[in-house]
Structure 1
Amino acid sequence: MTLHICSLKVETAQAVPVLASDYYLLRFPYTVSDESWDPHNMHRPTQPGGAVSTFPDARSGLIWPTVSGWGCLTAMVYWDAGSSSEYRARFVRDPLSLTTGYDSTATTDDAPTPGGQYRHYSHAMFVHPNTPIGLMVRHAASTPLAVTLAELKLAIEDNVTAVPPPPPLLPGKTFP
């Protein structure tokens, strides 16, 4: 059994715009540190299909699973002070609709607390190499709010008796 791990952390503030109905994909740098660790190459600038990403473009928010299996996702989000009536987060399969299409799961909606707005999320689901994973957030403030710290971690157990087949690719999409 191998546990495939990708652990991402960013402490560079990201301004989350005011969004009428959509979510913002959090971005992560391509560096290794005490918290950011990617021994299985799931978060690399050169991505499947040959596209090259540079932090903080949207593709820097993607984890590309290297194996199919049971994925355990955890995330942490620290919001800067602001006046929002809600904070939302969701894990999303293919958040940029690059291969199999946008598929959100585990959406969480939180009210503000009296102190800082610090959130932790977890979810488990089947993952596949042709479907990237991302963490998306939104708020209900009338002005942009910053996320000052974000972490996204994926651990894949690949020794699963039966893994469902991967979702089909979108029409016109190919996967190397």
Structure 2
Amino acid sequence: MLSHLFWHEPDIVGVAESAASIAELDAALTARMTRGLPELLDRCADAGRRVWVVGRFEENAMRAGLRAHGLDGRIAVVAGRLGLDGDTFGEVSVASRTARLLDVDPAHCLLVSGRCDVLHVARHSGMALLGVPCGHDIRKWLSGYAPVVSNLRRLGEALSARNEHE
């Protein structure tokens, strides 16, 4: 929505962005945590993997949500929408921008999403893609865009097993 307003309704985009930021903060603070997320983050930390949280919400709202769930200490980078910066509209744009700013080759990144639209847009980003059903899109739909793991607990187990074999 903000991207459309940014390009087509510049007179009202500032008000819309303010309203969106308030709604995103409320959503981030009241959202239910995805089952298995704390354990996955622990396994990533144990394996020395840096975790980035990338999303379409305003970055400060995302930080507040992670802090509210006690997850902020496990996250290396939080990247989201930065006001009306058009380069930060959409998860894939933010992920690509973050990789560029941190000088990380996208080929060394794993983008995990439960949304078909994100996986569809990300297929040309150079990042490895993985679908995880988490309440938005179902496994069958996700599998049209990327390999799918059944849940975050299984992903954590796979990452731990891989780390043991390296």
Query: When you count strand as a share of all residues, which structure comes out higher?
Result: 1
Q: Which has the higher helix share?
A: 2
